[in-house]
């Protein structure tokens, strides 16, 4: 890890530490998440790092917050469409991360892989997944209200299906854009309203 400048305001210093730690976790896994190395790469000593993050767990929680922020702010451009697509948004974002920000997927994978063995990290992952699922539920509910999805669709259960499909593909190291697009198309076929119903909804 190369050293960086040292004189920064506290907020920027904290952000820099998280960016360095984020990259370390993405590229080296938890085995490479060593506070001493992160401090050196951020141009500070270990005591200064511990001033911002008292324990390694505090640092991991900061990384999870950093991941959550990036998931909210770094998203695929929304293409204009006559009909809102509750599936395309999720899979477009995954493709975007795969191409533009693979570190986001790598950190997500590391957190999820460690969650079963670490209660604190499991809590962080549950929070991330809950936020992700809530967005899908909202999108599906809106699409159902517009007559684009089956009337008997349960948005919460369907959101679990979308999330599980997306995460199942995301968990694969070699993520295939073709597989993502095919999965999104199949989910759309399974959950969308009959063609006649969709046609009536467009006329309303």
Q: 174 burial class (0-12, 13-18, 19+ CB within 10 angstroms)?
A: exposed
d(CA 18, CA 73): 16
Q: Which tens digits make up the pLDDT trace of 153-202?
A: 999 999 998 888 887 877 776 667 788 788 888 888 888 888 744 454 44
Q: Which tens digits make up the pLDDT trace of 61-74?
A: 999 999 999 988 88
Return the CATH class of domain 10-62: mainly alpha
Domain 74-203 has CATH 1.10.357.10: yes
**Domain ranges in the chain with CATH number 1.10.357.10:** 74-203
**Domain ranges in the chain with CATH number 1.10.10.60:** 10-62
Q: What is the mean pLDDT of the chain?
A: 84
pLDDT at residue 204, rounded to an integer: 40
């Amino acid at each position: 890890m190369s050293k960086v400048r040292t004189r920064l305001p506290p907020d920027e210093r904290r952000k820099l530490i998280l960016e360095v730690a984020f990259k370390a976790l993405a590229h080296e896994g938890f085995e490479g998440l060593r506070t001493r190395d992160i401090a050196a790469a951020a141009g500070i000593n270990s005591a200064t790092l511990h001033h911002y993050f008292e324990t390694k767990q505090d640092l991991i929680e900061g990384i999870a917050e950093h991941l959550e922020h990036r998931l909210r702010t770094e998203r695929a451009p929304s293409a204009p469409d006559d009909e809102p697509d509750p599936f395309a948004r999720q899979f477009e974002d995954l493709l975007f991360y795969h191409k533009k920000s693979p570190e986001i997927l790598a950190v997500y994978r590391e957190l999820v892989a460690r969650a079963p063995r670490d209660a604190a990290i499991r809590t962080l992952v549950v929070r991330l997944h809950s936020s992700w699922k809530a967005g899908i539920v909202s999108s599906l509910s809106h699409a159902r209200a517009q007559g684009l999805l089956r009337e008997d669709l349960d948005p919460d259960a369907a959101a679990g299906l979308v999330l599980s499909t997306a995460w199942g593909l995301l968990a694969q190291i070699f993520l295939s854009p073709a597989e993502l697009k095919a999965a999104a198309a199949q989910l759309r076929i399974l959950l969308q309203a009959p063609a006649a119903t969709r046609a009536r909804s467009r006329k309303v």
